[in-house]
Structure 1
């Protein structure tokens, strides 16, 4: 009986498509694991239409050469590039209007070990979010937001430590 239950669970578990690499649910506003650290913050605008969501991505113990970010509509499967791809370097900041999450709530951060992997669209790791994490803090000044993002990621960069799924 246990074998049958285990078999059903394994069949029901989602697996990445060939060439996609490992998929990890980021879950929280600060994530560290699999060689990457990611933090979210919200910069409140004077009106909601000017409110920005900032996603900061930084290496944390692994050598990822490139990063790309896509938005996804979970109902239609339609994808929209947010960042087509660029070298990861020390960090990358992605800005999106908060309203953009209404139609394309899912974000996928694709990490590539080499430029060739990036060009072939074969990420080593994809960290995904089903929307802006509920724990994401809001700030009224850009300086306070960037200080928070720096401090949130500083403890993970170069260590590879943090929440690992």
Structure 2
């Protein structure tokens, strides 16, 4: 039998990007969560996926929503990630947002944003897997915020513009 702590530690050796997923609930209120389980699925059609714990306070809003936005966080957005990682409360308080497709809140300053319609939802053990069809995207030339071995990390830059390849990963200050 696989020990869940050992599995979590082993999975932590895979560096992931940090994202915030946003939508609106049945009353039109903004909802958002920090996740690092984001991946591309297909280029044609343009599909991406992410997953959310079934015990998440925000799960009902995402299962009922017709779409969501995935925000790939920039390396300077650790505080925003921490804010949206909280279980409940007004995560949008003091956050300047724009409206995306279907009124979904969009966060500023991200490395990339994917506006998606919900294509599929699949059972994934203790998580629900969401597959979205990318309807619109925005890209900015910013270094991404990463998560590695249970901590935030950022790529070291090869050039001041962040357009170079990542040489190494350094642990960001907590």
- Scaled by the length of structure 1, the TM-score of the pair is 0.27
Q: Which one has the largest radius of gyration?
A: 1
- Scaled by the length of structure 2, the TM-score of the pair is 0.26
